[in-house]
């Protein structure tokens, strides 16, 4: 004679716990880390050495690498952002609109106001537009500015559903 298995105490037919299970939790944590690392690398100032003997390219590859050292940190930030986009595409995940707005679609750099991007507002007709220009690739991104309108992801009702 076997024991009866009660519901809620394990097994496949048990009652689920009150908390919701998040799918791809590890992937979202990795994407969060990659975004934070990309922002850190994009915002870190690079100390350049002003005492370079020659600015011409030499035949030694190591000398060429030393001369182009100033772009390594922003390049590393773009690599992290590219890896973030790859994880997003492979698992078909969606980022928050704020994350999408702060990434350049062409060079995949992080757009930080005054550091890696210049931001301006312009008026075309009745509408006001926010124009962000990437300093790496010179690509412009325009977003409408609508006063008093909330984004769908920022509404309180949507945030309550996610909890």
**Integer-rounded Cα radius of gyration of the chain:** 24
CB neighbourhood size of 42 (10 A): 23
pLDDT in tens, 43-54: 888 766 655 544
**Which helix or strand (DSSP H or E) is residue 123 part of?**
strand 117-124
Please state the rounded mean pLDDT for residues 25-45.
93
141: tokens are 């991104």
pTM attached to this predicted model: 0.67
What does the pLDDT look like over 65-117, one tens digit per residue?
444 444 458 889 999 999 999 999 999 999 998 899 999 999 999 999 989 99
By three-state DSSP, how is residue 61 classified?
helix
């Amino acid at each position: 004679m076997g024991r009866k298995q009660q519901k809620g105490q394990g097994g496949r037919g048990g009652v689920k716990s009150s908390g919701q299970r998040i799918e791809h939790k590890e992937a979202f944590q990795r994407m969060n880390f990659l975004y934070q690392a990309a922002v850190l690398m994009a915002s870190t100032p690079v100390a350049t050495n002003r005492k370079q003997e020659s600015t011409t390219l030499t035949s030694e590859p190591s000398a060429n690498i030393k001369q182009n050292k100033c772009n390594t940190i922003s390049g590393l930030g773009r690599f992290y952002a590219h890896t973030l986009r790859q994880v997003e595409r492979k698992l078909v995940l969606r980022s928050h609109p704020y994350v999408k707005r702060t990434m350049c679609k062409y060079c995949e750099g992080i757009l930080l106001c005054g550091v890696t991007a210049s931001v301006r507002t312009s008026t075309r007709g009745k509408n006001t537009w926010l124009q962000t220009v990437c300093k790496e690739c010179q690509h412009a991104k325009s977003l409408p500015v609508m006063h008093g309108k909330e984004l769908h992801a920022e509404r309180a009702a949507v945030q309550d559903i996610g909890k």
